[in-house]
Amino acid sequence: MDILEDFQKNADKCKAQILQRFFKTGKGEYGEGDVFLGIIVPKQREIAKKYSNLDLDSIKKLLESKIHEHRLTGLIILTCQFKKGDEKKQKEIFDFYLKNAKKINNWDLVDLSAPNILGKYLLDKKRDLLYSLAKSENLWEKRIAIISTFEFIKNNDFSDTILISEILLNDKHDLIHKAVGWMLREIGKRDIEKEEIFLKKHYKIMPRTMLRYAIERFSDEKRQFFLKSHFPT
């Protein structure tokens, strides 16, 4: 594919080393085995625009690559095609995304694509599959489940975020704690009462990172109330 040549032309070994560390690619870390070329995201968006009509078979090959930029650029193309597509095309992309969900295997890949494909598609549909993903053993499928609800939050629909957050309350992974806390904070931006109802019910058992993310925008007084009650001195 010509797109692979464009990736190689823009590779930067120094940036690649920085990204390898940032995205935790070492042995035993969440991004173990992920390989970086060192291409900044704005440049990847330029490449995606150039190959905006790439077919799904070619996008699938990008998603199957060990190279992070291949997967991210493939997802940028996919989200753009979804946005421009008619109902039939959107359904095709939605199905393709779910079939390849395990290849969307780093937090930036999930955060870029999940709300813009799954979230948008499910706005006016049943959302049972998100609950199945939330109960998955796969880290990235769980993150996809909660981050997809960001699109619902933007439309002042909070119920699925709250229910999926409850499913993920006892999850052990820091990336899930951050994702849930972030989504709760986003609810709070739009309806602080809804967020506080959730927190008052669950804050004593919430992981530290999840709670800290959720209350980040609270007043100092309110933040200290939750923190001191959760982590008594």
Position 230 scores a pLDDT of: 63
Position 227 scores a pLDDT of: 86
Position 231 scores a pLDDT of: 56
Query: N- to C-terminal Cα distance for the chain?
Result: 59
Summarised one tens digit per residue, pLDDT across range 86-108 is 999 999 999 999 999 999 999 99
Alpha helices in the chain (DSSP H): 2-9, 13-22, 41-50, 56-63, 68-84, 87-99, 107-114, 120-121, 128-134, 139-148, 150-154, 159-167, 174-190, 192-202, 208-214, 220-230
Residue carrying the six token digits 């077919």: 55
Summarised one tens digit per residue, pLDDT across range 16-47 is 999 999 999 999 999 999 999 999 999 999 99
All residue ranges of the chain with pLDDT < 70 are: 229-233
Position 233 scores a pLDDT of: 44
pTM of the model: 0.94
